[in-house]
Amino acid sequence: MLVYGIHAVDALLRRNPHTVDQLLLQDGRDDKRLKALLALAQNQGVSVERVSREELARLVEGRHQGAVARVAASDAEGGGGLQWREPELLRHVEGKAGPVLLLVLDGVTDPHNLGACLRSADAAGADAVIVPRDNSASMTPVVRKVASGAAEALPLVTVTNLSRTLEALKGSGVWLFGAAGEAENSIYNSDLTGSVALIMGAEGRGMRRLTREHCDHLISLPMTGSVDSLNVSVAAGVCLFEARRQRLAAS
């Protein structure tokens, strides 16, 4: 697997340098950010090679920003990044001293949206992002690039049966808040200070029926403009930071 982009490569070198086989940097480019990556790689004992901009462009799809890391085969299995299984998630929920904040994405298939959601969830202090194994985006180089380092810091939990996972979370004291445009209760009138899982459905379709039925509360974002919905990553960011705001106010 190849990880590319300044932020994604920087986070990989800082958190998991042992997984990097080689760092490829754009030849002839010596700006401050690439010099910092070069110094970091050398300090971590990672092999560095200078290659042309065209060669980097042939290796990856999207903007590489002059930096591409070759990831060891063992880390590349499953997409790399920080990933948990369901038992690890439940152990974390049950063992954490304070309330947890989780983001659940039901049927979000666009890797750019998954990467953006990981980035927002990490910034808001979430404990993990949960996705179903089927009909969902998974960890890919694109996701890691868009996440700008969050994929190396925030656990992505891929579960086989989302309904079963939601029931297990409820059994561990987590309240499930599902985002639904038609919900009468606004997110701003909801108490998000306890252990909470915010559930976002796919754009257009929203949450699946079974997922909706597991929710303790349905919430909406008040919309006052001409549009009636937001991109899922934007909506997730708004909900996550409202939860963050409430927790800061309560502390």
Tens digits of residue pLDDT in 40-71: 999 988 899 999 999 998 888 778 889 998 88
Please say if the pLDDT value at position 215 is more than 70: yes
Does the structure show a pLDDT above 80 at 225? no
Q: How many CB atoms lie within 10 A of CB 83?
A: 16
| Residue whose pair of structure tokens reads 């597991």 in the numeric block | 214
| Residue whose C-alpha is closest to residue 201's, from 171, 160, 164, 230 | 230
Residue 93, C-beta contacts closer than 8 angstroms, at least 6 positions apart: 100, 102, 127, 169, 172, 173, 174, 195
Rounded distance between C-alpha atoms, residue 115 and residue 137, angstroms: 9
The count of residues in the chain is 251
Check residue 100 and give its pLDDT: 97
**How does DSSP classify residue 223?**
-
Local confidence band at 77 (pLDDT 50, 70, 90 cut-offs): low
- Exposed (0-12), middle (13-18) or buried (19+): which is 32, by Cβ within 10 Å? exposed
In the chain, at which residue ranges do the beta strands (DSSP E only) sit? 2-4, 20-26, 48-51, 67-71, 83-84, 101-106, 128-132, 156-159, 175-179, 196-201, 217-219
Listed residue (139, 115, 111, 3) closest to 59, CA to CA? 3
CATH for 2-79 is 3.30.1330.30
At 108 the pLDDT is: 93
Task: Report whether 80 contacts 19 (CB < 8 A).
Answer: yes
Beta strands at 48-51 and 175-179: parallel, antiparallel or unpaired: unpaired
Integer-rounded Cα radius of gyration of the chain: 19
201 marked among binding-site residues: yes
Q: Could you say which DSSP state residue 202 is in?
A: B
Measured CA distances, 196 to 185, 193, 211, 245 (Å): 16, 8, 15, 14
Whether the pLDDT of residue 80 is over 70: the answer is no
198: exposed, middle or buried (Cβ count in 10 Å: 0-12, 13-18, 19+): buried
Q: Which residues are 219's β-sheet partners?
A: 179
Residue-range domain boundaries for the chain? 2-79, 83-250
- The third-level CATH classification (topology) of the domain covering 83-250 is Alpha/beta knot (3.40.1280)
221 has binding-site annotation: yes
Same fold, 2-79 and 83-250: no
Better-scored residue on pLDDT, 225 or 190: 190
On whether 40 is known to bind a ligand per the annotation, the reply is no
Of 191, 200, 211, 204, the closest CA to residue 234 belongs to: 200
Residue 103 CB coordination number (10 Å): 26
* Residue in this structure with the two tokens 């990044």, named with its chain if needed: 81
pLDDT exceeds cutoff 90 at 177: yes
Cβ distance 100 to 92 under 8 Å? Answer: yes
